[in-house]
A and B are shown apart, each in its own frame.
Chain A
């Protein structure tokens, strides 16, 4: 009984915070728009009894999903988001791994302080931190003023309102999500394994490559997921730092929802986005599990 209770908690969590909202979105994606409150039809009315419910399901159709395939805007936005998310995940990994490595190698008494420094930015609102990048990157911003002062450039660089600014924003914002899991993996690393590798003739570099990296794989994967998934649907960073030309699915969704007032199409876009994310993750996890079973 106690066991059942323990198992049911995560499932209830999943049901309340994922399955139910998803079903609501799915239902809206199968409806039609209307000029009303709320702006779609049909709405589920229980007053008419069974016939009303039957009529409700009869009115649903997949035309909004068909519509998504008819306009190239949508798949282009999905692809562009995937590209931006993938590149920023890679860059975040390149910046985050050395930081995590340095933290794990640091003397024990420093670690709490270093950990604190990684978490510290979270004490300020995410929005304010992204906004302050506007002040750094703008034409009259700190970065340009500094570069002009050093004489490296003679004209201010156009960074704000470009894709580069979006990458900077994403890397900055999600860096702690990359560092923390990698650090957790590296911290557990048994130093004697590295000594053994060196004793057996490995150079330090190849020992790092053959021992440290594979043993921190779980951290790399967890960090990459934590960065990639939110970056894919990111809306705030591209709309504040990116130019109007930065096409991302989050913005397309916003436009469907707010400009077109087309909740059904917006919901269809969201459902497809979820499928894009969930299917590879499930396949990946299954693959991992198989490998783990093979090892045993």
Chain B
């Protein structure tokens, strides 16, 4: 009997231990935070932070739709968020636990409400544009001094691409962004869900396909910085990080980013809490920590993406807040477009077309 009692107390102690050691599991994009913030969060709250990364919305979405991902905070992009909310993947935020909610920027909140009405399920983490990063030296060497580095002409005109192929071109492997870009280039509605309009993007890619070395959504940061490639169609902050890495390596590579003048896509990465999150309390604490003006500024200063936090702006370094590639002027903002999610049928058309573009089949 005594022995049994001992076992029971041991079990009780174990259970209590599990309950007090609070932890939070965060699933974010790769290269997307200043890692010092992670240790700071642990020090301030005493919550153990487990941080994992992904490089495509598709991977995240599959985990969300499979259920019981085990994550407490995830960061889908607006269009994906909207679909996952419909599928019932997220829980409504308890705003009473988010005292820093007042720091958020209404200009961004108005736009994210398109995906998440009233911003009930998510807060904005970062936002940015999808555009073109170039190795300035190499591109000018190949195309001449007046190379159109601020225009989709650079990558959608076969004669330019034919020359650029020699120094290497990567595209994002993200059809939901690459197809709207091509549609915008030919003057169609980039947010069209009409399969006949979407089909018009195919010949544009087929004409330049032989000159594209790879479709990938994360390798271009290093490839561009090392000088392995000279052009990458990618996300603004990633290319600016690549610019930074090249500058640090001091290898003579100069990287520039442009949101093309014909119009570029603007996207929002939103932090949300899965409906089956094991530690929703800790998740709210993490969101509130991120929404702190100085923390958010530290993240932006590190990753070169704009954020949706008005109060953080006074702590941003000039390199970030003063760079129109990160915080575009009001006029440039008007030139950016947003898109909405495809339904399953249109998604299949888009994926099939993208496979055909990538593999020729």
Do A and B form a real pair?
yes
Report if A234 contacts B (CB, 8 A).
no
- Shortest beta-carbon distance, A291 to chain B, in Å? 40
Using known A-B contacts A39-B87, A244-B173, A245-B360, determine if residue A161 contacts B67 with beta carbons closer than 8 Å.
no
Residue of A33, A139, A158 with most partner-chain B CB within 10 A: A139
Bound CA–CA A161/B171 (angstroms): 13
**Residues of chain B contacted by A259 (CB below 8 angstroms):** 58, 175, 347, 351, 354
**Residues of chain A contacted by B214 (CB below 8 angstroms):** 161, 243-244
Are A252 and B355 interface neighbours, CB within 8 A? Answer: yes
Are B87 and A138 interface neighbours, CB within 8 A? Answer: no
Pick the interface stretch among A71-79, A109-117, A189-197: A71-79
Are B352 and A73 interface neighbours, CB within 8 A? Answer: yes
**Residues of chain B contacted by A244 (CB below 8 angstroms):** 173, 212, 214-216, 358-359
Report if B190 contacts A (CB, 8 A).
no
Report if B88 contacts A (CB, 8 A).
yes
**Residues of chain A contacted by B216 (CB below 8 angstroms):** 244
Report if B9 contacts A (CB, 8 A).
no
Report if A203 contacts B (CB, 8 A).
no
**Number of inter-chain CB pairs below 8 Å:** 80
Taking a contact as CB atoms closer than 8 A, the residue among B65, B351, B355, B361 that contacts A37 in the complex is B65
- Shortest beta-carbon distance, A260 to chain B, in Å? 5
Bound CA–CA A260/B176 (angstroms): 12
Bound CA–CA A71/B215 (angstroms): 23
Taking a contact as CB atoms closer than 8 A, the residue among B59, B67, B212 that contacts A258 in the complex is B59
Are A161 and B213 interface neighbours, CB within 8 A? Answer: yes
Bound CA–CA A245/B86 (angstroms): 34
A12-40 contact mask (Cβ, 8 Å, vs B): 1 or 0: 00000000000000000000010111110
**Residues of chain B contacted by A33 (CB below 8 angstroms):** 344
* Cβ < 8 Å to B, chain A residues 240-258: 243-247, 252, 255, 257-258
Bound CA–CA A238/B359 (angstroms): 12
- Shortest beta-carbon distance, A133 to chain B, in Å? 14
Taking a contact as CB atoms closer than 8 A, the residue among A36, A71, A255 that contacts B87 in the complex is A36
Using known A-B contacts A244-B215, A258-B56, A260-B351, determine if residue A39 contacts B361 with beta carbons closer than 8 Å.
no
**Residues of chain B contacted by A243 (CB below 8 angstroms):** 213-214
Closest to B348 in A: A260
Taking a contact as CB atoms closer than 8 A, the residue among B67, B175, B227 that contacts A140 in the complex is B227
**Residues of chain A contacted by B213 (CB below 8 angstroms):** 158, 161, 243
Closest to A266 in B: B62
**Residues of chain A contacted by B227 (CB below 8 angstroms):** 140
Report if B228 contacts A (CB, 8 A).
yes
**Residues of chain B contacted by A262 (CB below 8 angstroms):** 344, 348
**Residues of chain B contacted by A245 (CB below 8 angstroms):** 358-360
**Residues of chain A contacted by B344 (CB below 8 angstroms):** 33, 35, 260-262
Are B65 and A255 interface neighbours, CB within 8 A? Answer: no
**Residues of chain A contacted by B356 (CB below 8 angstroms):** 73
Bound CA–CA A140/B251 (angstroms): 13
Closest to A37 in B: B67
Closest to A162 in B: B213
Are B228 and A38 interface neighbours, CB within 8 A? Answer: no
Closest to B62 in A: A258
Are B347 and A261 interface neighbours, CB within 8 A? Answer: yes
Bound CA–CA A140/B252 (angstroms): 15
Closest to B58 in A: A258
Are B65 and A140 interface neighbours, CB within 8 A? Answer: no
Bound CA–CA A39/B66 (angstroms): 7
- Shortest beta-carbon distance, B231 to chain A, in Å? 14
* Cβ < 8 Å to A, chain B residues 167-214: 168, 173, 175, 212-214
Taking a contact as CB atoms closer than 8 A, the residue among B65, B173, B352 that contacts A261 in the complex is B65
Report if B61 contacts A (CB, 8 A).
yes
- Shortest beta-carbon distance, B306 to chain A, in Å? 28
Report if B89 contacts A (CB, 8 A).
yes
- Shortest beta-carbon distance, B335 to chain A, in Å? 29
Taking a contact as CB atoms closer than 8 A, the residue among A37, A72, A138, A246 that contacts B88 in the complex is A37
**Residues of chain A contacted by B61 (CB below 8 angstroms):** 258, 261
**Residues of chain B contacted by A139 (CB below 8 angstroms):** 168, 228
* Cβ < 8 Å to A, chain B residues 334-352: 344, 347-348, 351-352
Bound CA–CA A234/B67 (angstroms): 26
- Shortest beta-carbon distance, A191 to chain B, in Å? 51
**Residues of chain B contacted by A36 (CB below 8 angstroms):** 65, 87-88
A146-172 contact mask (Cβ, 8 Å, vs B): 1 or 0: 000000000000100100000000000
Are B175 and A76 interface neighbours, CB within 8 A? Answer: no
Bound CA–CA A271/B175 (angstroms): 27
* Top 6 A-B pairs, shortest CB-CB distance: A258-B58, A244-B358, A247-B359, A244-B215, A37-B67, A39-B65
Given contacts A138-B228, A244-B359, A259-B175, 20 further A-B contacts (CB under 8 A): A35-B83, A36-B87, A37-B64, A38-B65, A38-B66, A39-B87, A71-B352, A140-B227, A161-B214, A243-B213, A244-B173, A244-B214, A244-B215, A244-B358, A247-B361, A257-B62, A258-B56, A258-B61, A259-B354, A261-B62
A-to-B contact residues, CB < 8 Å:
33, 35-39, 71-73, 76-77, 138-140, 158, 161, 243-247, 252, 255, 257-262
**Between-chain CB contacts (< 8 Å), 16 pairs:** A37-B65, A37-B87, A38-B66, A39-B66, A73-B352, A140-B226, A161-B213, A161-B214, A244-B215, A244-B358, A244-B359, A247-B361, A259-B351, A259-B354, A260-B344, A262-B344
